[in-house]
Each structure stands twice: as structure tokens, then as C-alpha cells.
Chains A and B, each alone.
Chain A
Amino acid sequence: MSDEKEFQLNPTPHLDELEKGPWPSFISGFKELAKRTGNTMVRGALDQLNYSYETRLGYWKGGVVGVHGYGAGVISRYSMIPDLFPEAKEFHTVRIQPPPGLHYNTKKLRFLCDTWERLGSGLINMHGQTGNLQMIGIGQDNVQEFFDEVNKEGWDLGGAGAVVRTGASCVGPARCDQACNDNLKLHEKMLTYFTDLVHRPQLPYKMKMKFAGCPNDCINSIQRADMSFIGTWRDDIQQDDAEVEKFIDEKGMDYVVNNVITRCPTNAITLEGKKMVIDNKDCVRCMHCLNVMPKALSPGKDRGLTMLLGGKGILKMGNMLGAVIAPFMKCETDEEIEAVIEFVENIIDYWADNALDHERVGEFMERIGMHQFLEDMELDATIEMVNHPRDNPYFKASHDHDPLAKKG
């Protein structure tokens, strides 16, 4: 970099099209950063990206880059065409675990930015789809120093590959009136407990955990996580009758009937004049009425979490949603949290011992069957695990099962 001459970017005509339009342009951001810092790696990355746009192909390949003592957390990227774009011949990513709920302070963030500008590209992805802070673009020679520097300030690497992955949480009880579980605390305790499994690949494949404060599941845990922890309650919805009446007066009876009463998935709500009567035995904790009337309705007080297992994306057997494995667990005291973690550890151990290579826990359960899974995990079958009992007679019935004896 020369002080006398302004740092020049190369022409990127394809990318320049992405500087138009009202939405914030990442290309403009990249260019601003490259010009200000004179970081040639950013210029090289822009050049190669422009070439990808021109040829409609990607040009990064993986390799092995890491930090001392860890087996995961750095995603290595080498250009396949370093002769064309030597400035970005190395462009590795460092995954950093964010704070639960993605709550930051500026001191910590500025420190990350300063260290990253000094040792890396200055490009940061907030956030990756699993939830990591992704520091995009660093040369191999700087990776260890960057990690050491940020580790001194309490930042640790996230997961990659066949490990317990970085956890993800919604905003949680820090700011949400609907949070039924202290998901931020559980996130911290759970991921801290499994730190060794985050850093060193010892599992059949990835294990993702997401922590949602309530069944609105803003963190997308059922679709995206092998283990989904969702805050819920088992007593009655809290109602403020005066606020209900006020809501009806403000919005009108039509609105309440069309948008609350008839939208209840189990028809659990009826009206008596301007009083809402909820049959809580029929309530499935879907959150809809609470979403529409947050001032009048709140989750109950006996709170805990529902845990679902086996959610995953496409590879390899097609996508799966998580399915209930524990309908309700208390999760407030340290002992209760430890019990949840122990439950999780048992599942991970069993899966790790028995799954095939590259087999997510949901696929593993599908292969061995739920009976085997429940038996080996010593879990009771509960009706909440299924939509309905089986509709075929193909099972090894037990000759000494006495349905009448159990009633007593």
C-alpha cells in the first residue's frame, strides 16, 4: 500500500450492478473497506467474485487450516485460480461463537473489528446460518494470532464438521414477554458443557442445537436443529379480563372472532359477551392468540421446555422436522438444567456409538426405528411423540401384555 497514491480497485462490472437499488449493498461495503484499508485480499475477493458472476461458477476449494489444539472452527478456502487472482489465494473463515441471543456490546465488537482489520480481511458475516460470527478472509499465517488475541477477550471458536455446532437462540427473556424458558442461560450452559465436542470432531456428523423461548420458535429450531429446545407452559394461559374487553372494544367483535376465536387450531376459545373463555385442556400452546393479544394474554406460570429431536436439512435423506422426544421438562434451577444436559448427553452418546458415518440423529432414528431408540435410551413412549397411534398392525406384539392390568 502506498501513501501517495490512492488504492485502486479493479473493474468489477457485474458486481457494480449490485450497488444499485434501495437495499444496503454488500458490494459497496466491500469496496469502501478495500479502498480505506488497502487490503489486497478484499480486492482479490471482489475480483474473483466478479469472475464467478461472469462465468457462473464458484472457485473456492477446501483444505486444512486450524488453530492449535482444535480440530474445527476454521473453514479453509483456497482459490482454485490463484494465477488469475493471487491476492485472494487464501481466504479462510474463522467461525466465532456469538453471545446467546446475539446480544453484543460495542466494546467487545469494536475489539473484534480492530483485531480482524489488523489480521484479516475486515469482512464479517453477521451471522452464518447456524449462528456463528463468520470472519471471512484471513491468511493461514495469521489464523493462530487472530484466535489468540480474541480468545484473550473471551471469544471462542464455533463448530464445523462432525461436531456439536455453535448454538443459536432467539432474543429470549432478555427482551421478550413471551419467553417461557431461560433459553439464553440454557444455551450458555449446554454449549459450555459440550465445548470439547464443539472443538474436536468425534461424532458421526453435525449436531445442531437451537434454543427458542416459546413455540413461535423465532430461531427456527424445529426445522433447522437436531435438538430443538422450546419454552412452553403447562398450566393455564394468564388472562387479563379488563384488557380482553378493551381489545374487543378497540378492534371490534368481528376482528376478535375472525382473527382469534376461529383461528385457534383446537377451537379452545369461546366468548361469553366480552369475556374470553379458554378451555386450557384443549390448548396446544401454539401461541396464536397470545401473538394477537399480547397485552391481554400471557403464557402460564408453570413453565419449562418441550424438546424435539431429529430436525435437519436436505442431506442425505431429505429434510426432516424435529419430533417430540420430551413433552415437558422443567428447566429453571441448576439441577433441572443439569438434568436436561444429562438427557442430551445420553442421546449424543448413544447416537455417536451407533450411527453410521454422516448420519444425522434424525436419520439414525429413522433407520433403527423408534422402538429400538426408546428401548435403548430407556425412555417411555408418550402420546405426545406422535400425531396419532399407528395405523397398521405390523409389529411384534407382546404375548404377556395385559392392557387391563395396567389400568389398576
Chain B
Amino acid sequence: MAERTWKTIESGPHPYMEMLHPVCIKNYGKWKYHERPRPGVLKHVAESGDVLYTVRAGTERQDTVDIIRRFCDLADKYCEGHLRWTVRNNVEFMTPDWSSVESLISDLEKLGHPIGGTGPSISAVAHTQGWLHCDIPATDASGAAKSIMDTVYEEYVREEMPNRVKLSTSCCEINCGGQADIAVVIQHTRPPRINHDILANICEMPSTVARCPVAAIRPTTVNGKPSLMVVEEKCIYCGACFGACPAMEINHPEYSKLAIWVGGKNSNARSKPTTMKLVCHGLPNNPPRWPEVNAVMKRILTAYKEGARDWERVGEWIDRIGWKRFFELADLDFDRFLIDNYRHARTSFNTSAHIRF
């Protein structure tokens, strides 16, 4: 590397006002109300009377400089050089001019970007890196997300769900994809395979032992070398050790399965935020299209769309109809693995005579 001439400035995040749209700066903190003139478009009205339209579009999320430059071209053309992203990887263009909204929609659609993700729609999948870039993934996330969004595309561009639906996918049980109304997460089905030849050289053993949530890892000696062993009766196949120690391979093409979780809710609206609950496990990790996962997801979404009342999120809908009916409507089996067996499991037990027949 050439000799450095630049002295780093530890600047942290950019100043928050620096890149805002001028209408946002003028009306900062002085917005009065909002409406949704059509799916994918928001209208914000300020106390000053200023109006700002937002066009929201779906993206690849794994973007390229070409994709981003095309977004910049549109932002230069219609939005005075400003644009933003949402938490769920949608891109947003803001303009005070309604005729620009129509042109933006047309230009974005020509580029292949769907307009939607607002109001009671299915927004884009929040997802992890997967095989593209992660060091511990059992599946790919970008591909699964693409397949899911192809399946639910019509619900992204419309606002016909009972309430908003947030999806996520995760490539290991750490679940970086996060809580969601419906989530697809890896579930391993056997203990890690330990490579004793290299373990002592590449792993910090005490921190690997400490990483296990059920204290199933113990020091041992194999062929005269220090190593680790897993008490298989205790192991819950979570893969936490693999993150600490690459010699404890948890991933497997067949034994790493996919599970579906439902009812996570981040918002405080109506009910308190909730975590998602396991409703299906053992689905095959079947790239490039994951049809089995898609089919179950679709069944759940169809039942929700048909059965939920306006403003009920997936979890709130299930709260009303009960889990028993949910499993019937989604055509899913309940088995003993869906009963929690970890800490505080009893807080999820039915301590009442409330039974639906």
C-alpha cells in the first residue's frame, strides 16, 4: 500500500440535517398529518401547508453501484437530488409535485422496481447475508427473500391485507433477520460435528464452552490433543458454539432444516410488542426456490387475509381466534416440539380452563 497521507477523522454518523430533502428541512418537526393516495405513495402535509409525496419502491437489497446510480438519476430528475431507504430495504423518493409522482412510478416500474410496501401490505423481507457473505450460514437469505417476494408480489403492490405484514428470513438460529409477523429461520437437527484435528489451534476453548446455552460443551483430549466434546443428550442443536469455534461445524445440507415462526410484532399499537412463535419445523432447505417454505408461508398469509379483521396484525388475529384454530386454518400440525422446554417455559403454558372446542 502506498504511504498514507490522510489522517482519519473519526466523524461518526453524518450530521442529521446534511442530506435531507429541502422540504423536509423547511418543515422539520412540523408535519401535520399524512394520507396514502394510492399503494406505495404517501402524502405528508405540513403545518405550513407544504405537501410532500413519497414514492416507495422495492429493491434487490443486495444492490450494486449500477442500481444505486439509477436511483440517483431518478432522485436528481425528480427529487432535487435526495432519496432515502426504509428499514425494510425499500427506497423512497420524495417530491412536492404530484406530476413527478406519476413519472417516478412509471420510471421505477420500467426499471423493474415494484411500487408498494405501504399501509396494509406485505412489505419487503428483512433478511440476513446467508451464503453470499456470512461465515456461519446454513442457507441463503437473499435467494429465499427473492423467492418469497415473488410469491407475495401482488400483496406488496396492493394494500389489501388486514394490516401491515412484516417478513424476515434468517440463515442460522441467531436470527439476525429479527422478529416478524412471519419469519423463516434455520433449525438444525443434530449436534455439531467436531474437527478435533484443528480445534485447539483455531478456537478459544473457554469462550466456546461459555457460549453454550445449556452447558453441553466440555473440555476433553482426543488423540493426545486438547479439544472439546458435546454432551449430545444436553445439546439443543442451536449452533451457538459454531459462531465461536469454526471447528464445531453445525451446518449440513440435509440436517439443517427451516422453521416458520409467526406473530412477532414490533409496534406498540393496540397490543404490546410480541415475540414470534414457532408453528412449523423440519421444512427442507431447498434452494434455489425453497418451494416448501413458500407454500406454508402462503397458506398462513391466505388464512390471515381471509380471517383477520382490519388492523389485526398476524399475532393479534391469532390471539382472537386462538392457536388451535390457527393450526387448523393454516393446515399445520402441532407437536411436542412446539411446547417450550427452555427457561420460563411455564409462562407459555395454559394455566386456565380456557379451551376452544
Find A126's partner among B21, B89, B254, B311 (CB 8 Å cutoff): B89
Task: Among A23, A68, A136, A144, point to the contact of B146 (Cβ < 8 A).
Answer: A23
Q: Are A316 and B14 in contact (CB under 8 A)?
A: no
**Shortest beta-carbon distance from A194 to chain B in Å:** 8
Of A145-153, A274-282, A399-407, the stretch lying at the interface with chain B is A145-153
B292 CB to nearest chain A CB (Å): 14
Q: Which residues of chain A are within 8 angstroms of B14 by Cβ–Cβ distance?
A: 97-100, 108, 154-155, 188
Interface centre among A98, A100, A292 (most CB of B within 10 A): A100
B-facing mask of A219-252, CB < 8 A → 1, else 0? 1111110000010000000000000000000000
A26 touches B269 (CB 8 A): no
Give chain B's interface secondary structure class. loop
Residue of B nearest to A110 (CB): B72
Interface-side segment among A173-181, A346-354, A370-378: A173-181
Within A111-125, which residues are at the interface with B (CB < 8 Å)? 113-114, 116-117, 122-125
Q: How far is the CA of A91 from the CA of B8 in the complex (A)?
A: 24
A198 at the interface (CB under 8 A from B): yes
Is A14 touching B24 in the complex (CB atoms < 8 A)? Answer: no
Closest to A220 in B: B266
Number of contacting residues on A, CB 8 A? 134
Partner of A103, one of B24, B131, B133, B254: B24
Query: Which residue of A has the minimal Cβ distance to B52?
Result: A175
- Answer whether A21 and B210 are a contact pair too, CB < 8 Å, given A106-B76, A218-B87: no
**Beta-carbon contacts under 8 Å, A137-192 to B:** 141, 144-145, 147-148, 151-152, 154-156, 166-168, 170-177, 179, 182, 184-185, 187-188, 191-192
Given contacts A29-B62, A144-B4, contact A58 B178 (CB under 8 A): no
Interface: A86 (CB within 8 A): no
Instruction: Please tell me which stretch of B188-196, B226-234, B281-289 contacts chain A, meaning at least 4 of its Cβ atoms lie within 8 angstroms of it.
Output: B281-289
Least CB distance, A177 to chain B, in whole angstroms: 4
Q: Contacts A122-B64, A216-B267: A313 and B176 contacting too (C-beta < 8 A)?
A: yes
Closest Cβ of chain B: how far from A247's Cβ, in Å? 11
Interface status of B105 (Cβ within 8 A of chain A): no
Select one of B65, B178, B342 contacting A129, CB under 8 A.
B178
Q: Which 4 A-B pairs have the closest CB atoms?
A: A21-B150, A56-B253, A52-B131, A177-B31
**Could you list 21 A-B pairs, sorted by A, with CB under 8 Å?**
A14-B288, A18-B288, A24-B60, A29-B63, A33-B64, A52-B131, A56-B254, A97-B13, A100-B14, A106-B83, A122-B65, A174-B25, A188-B15, A191-B13, A192-B12, A259-B311, A265-B270, A291-B269, A317-B343, A318-B213, A319-B179
Which residues of A does B touch, CB under 8 Å?
14-15, 17-18, 20-27, 29-30, 32-33, 36, 45, 49, 52-53, 55-62, 67-70, 75, 77, 91, 93, 97-110, 113-114, 116-117, 122-129, 131, 136, 141, 144-145, 147-148, 151-152, 154-156, 166-168, 170-177, 179, 182, 184-185, 187-188, 191-192, 195-196, 198-199, 215-224, 230, 258-259, 263-265, 285-288, 291-292, 294-295, 298, 313-319, 321, 356-358
